[in-house]
Amino acid sequence: MLYVELLVDVAEGGRDLAKAIKAAEEFGLPKGSVHYPRLKVVKSRGEPVPYKAGTVVTMHEASAEKWIERGLCKVVKGER
């Protein structure tokens, strides 16, 4: 497991939230749609953790590599 710091707000599905929203609006997707991009939120120790820029989360190495390639996060040392 690696500690990574999120560089951008992340949408469900591991996408840059701002880019996902822009694409949805260009497509004409209504904000009330179940397919409209939303901020990723997970539970850690029973508490919700929103995936906002600057948040440090743990991630498996394979997933971290993919997210780093997409420019979503960077590896950091330490704990949350």
Look up residue 80 and give its DSSP letter: -
Does residue 78 carry a pLDDT above 80? no
pTM, two decimals, is: 0.87
CA nearest to 36, candidates 22, 50, 53: 22
Residue ranges of domains in the chain: 2-76
Which pLDDT tens digit goes with each residue over 17-54? 999 999 999 999 999 999 999 999 999 889 999 999 99
